[in-house]
């Protein structure tokens, strides 16, 4: 399995026979206001042939209409149903519903969806559009992509239901990290801090953690590197530090299959 960090929540995942892109955002600015501080790790025009695109929710940093318009229109898009219906109305005919609890197949990869703890509506008034997904990719080797979510008692539930109950373990956890100042206490109701991501990594029992959501856009309440700086500092003394792979935009992690017990 190969995972390339393109930026923010945009990752290129090559798993089994499938090449999958998550939450594509190649925009030079977020919301036309907040500047991008590093170019996409792979230019949109240089992407390999895609088998599917996974969309988690409607926030502008995860759902860029401009990026979707520049991608091949025949690549299947999978999203929470309310988002997929919106996309189809806007002319994205390849958008498919993938509800929480649902499953689809992309070549030899089963993709399972679960609800994230995150209010994903794009605008203040469209609360009916707040659904947000997390995804588990399973082609024998496995990857969990969290989108945006808070740490809750059931955040690991999808992995528990689909893997642990069958005597299997998760290979790769792709988790967002964020930072908010002390005066923004509501941040953790819908996001992971660097400490939350490490706690979820341990709870998921994954072999490797790749953090994302950093090094891409300058935000109003945080720089693009606040969260990753704090994660690096925490890893200096964390008992799971050997399993954390921080890859810069444009870098690829190659993960060999787990060694099977005799």
Instruction: Report the candidate in 150, 141, 158 with the shortest Cα–Cα distance to residue 175.
Output: 150
Domain borders along the chain are: 2-254
Task: Please compute the mean of the pLDDT values over residues 189-217 and round it to a whole number.
Answer: 97
List the structure tokens of 61. 């940093």
List the structure tokens of 116. 């994230």
Task: Please compute the mean of the pLDDT values over residues 8-22 and round it to a whole number.
Answer: 98
Average pLDDT across the chain, whole number: 95
Task: Please compute the mean of the pLDDT values over residues 115-144 and round it to a whole number.
Answer: 94
Instruction: Report the candidate in 120, 117, 111, 166 with the shortest Cα–Cα distance to residue 144.
Output: 111
| Spatial contact of 80 and 132, defined as CB atoms under 8 Å apart | yes
Q: Given this model, what pLDDT does residue 261 score?
A: 47
Instruction: Using the predicted structure, report yes or no on whether residue 260 has a pLDDT greater than 90.
Output: no
Task: Please compute the mean of the pLDDT values over residues 84-94 and round it to a whole number.
Answer: 98
Instruction: Report the candidate in 67, 60, 189 with the shortest Cα–Cα distance to residue 129.
Output: 60
Task: Please compute the mean of the pLDDT values over residues 204-225 and round it to a whole number.
Answer: 94
| Spatial contact of 141 and 256, defined as CB atoms under 8 Å apart | no
pLDDT digits (tens, 9 = 90+) for 37-84: 999 999 999 999 999 999 999 999 999 999 999 999 999 999 999 999
Instruction: Using the predicted structure, report yes or no on whether residue 111 has a pLDDT greater than 90.
Output: yes
Task: Please compute the mean of the pLDDT values over residues 1-24 and round it to a whole number.
Answer: 98
Task: Please compute the mean of the pLDDT values over residues 126-145 and round it to a whole number.
Answer: 96
Q: Given this model, what pLDDT does residue 182 score?
A: 86
Instruction: Using the predicted structure, report yes or no on whether residue 199 has a pLDDT greater than 50.
Output: yes
Task: Please compute the mean of the pLDDT values over residues 253-260 and round it to a whole number.
Answer: 87
Q: Given this model, what pLDDT does residue 166 score?
A: 97
Per-residue pLDDT band for 185 (boundaries 50, 70, 90) equals confident
| Spatial contact of 50 and 18, defined as CB atoms under 8 Å apart | no
- State how far the Cα of 2 lies from the Cα of 164, in Å rounded to an integer: 23
Q: Which residue has the higher pLDDT, 165 or 129?
A: 165
User: Does the CA dihedral 153-158-162-163 come out positive or negative?
Assistant: negative
Q: Given this model, what pLDDT does residue 33 score?
A: 84
Instruction: Using the predicted structure, report yes or no on whether residue 133 has a pLDDT greater than 90.
Output: yes
Instruction: Using the predicted structure, report yes or no on whether residue 203 has a pLDDT greater than 50.
Output: yes
Q: Given this model, what pLDDT does residue 219 score?
A: 84
Task: Please compute the mean of the pLDDT values over residues 27-37 and round it to a whole number.
Answer: 89
Class of domain 2-254: alpha beta
């Amino acid at each position: 399995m190969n995972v390339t960090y393109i930026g923010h929540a945009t990752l290129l995942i090559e798993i089994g026979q499938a090449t999958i892109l998550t939450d594509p955002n190649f925009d030079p600015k977020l919301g036309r206001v907040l500047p991008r501080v590093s170019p996409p790790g792979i230019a949109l025009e240089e992407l390999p042939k895609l088998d599917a695109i996974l969309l988690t929710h409607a926030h502008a940093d995860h759902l860029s209409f401009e990026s979707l318009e520049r991608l091949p229109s025949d690549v299947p898009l999978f999203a929470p149903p309310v988002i997929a219906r919106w996309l189809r109305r806007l002319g994205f005919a390849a958008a498919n519903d993938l509800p929480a609890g649902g499953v689809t197949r992309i070549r030899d990869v089963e993709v399972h969806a679960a609800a994230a703890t995150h209010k994903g509506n794009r605008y203040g008034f469209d609360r009916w559009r707040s659904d947000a997904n997390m995804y588990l990719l399973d082609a024998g080797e496995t990857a969990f992509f969290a989108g945006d979510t808070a740490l809750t008692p059931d955040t690991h539930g999808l992995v528990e239901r689909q893997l642990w109950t069958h005597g299997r373990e998760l290979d790769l956890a792709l988790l967002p990290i964020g930072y908010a100042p002390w005066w923004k206490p509501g941040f953790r109701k819908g996001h992971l801090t660097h400490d939350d991501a490490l706690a979820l990594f341990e709870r998921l029992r994954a072999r490797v953690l790749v953090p994302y959501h950093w090094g891409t856009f300058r935000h109003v309440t945080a720089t693009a590197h606040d969260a990753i700086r704090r994660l690096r500092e925490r890893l200096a003394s964390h008992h799971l530090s050997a399993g954390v792979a921080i890859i810069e935009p444009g870098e690829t992690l190659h993960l060999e299959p787990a060694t099977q017990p005799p």
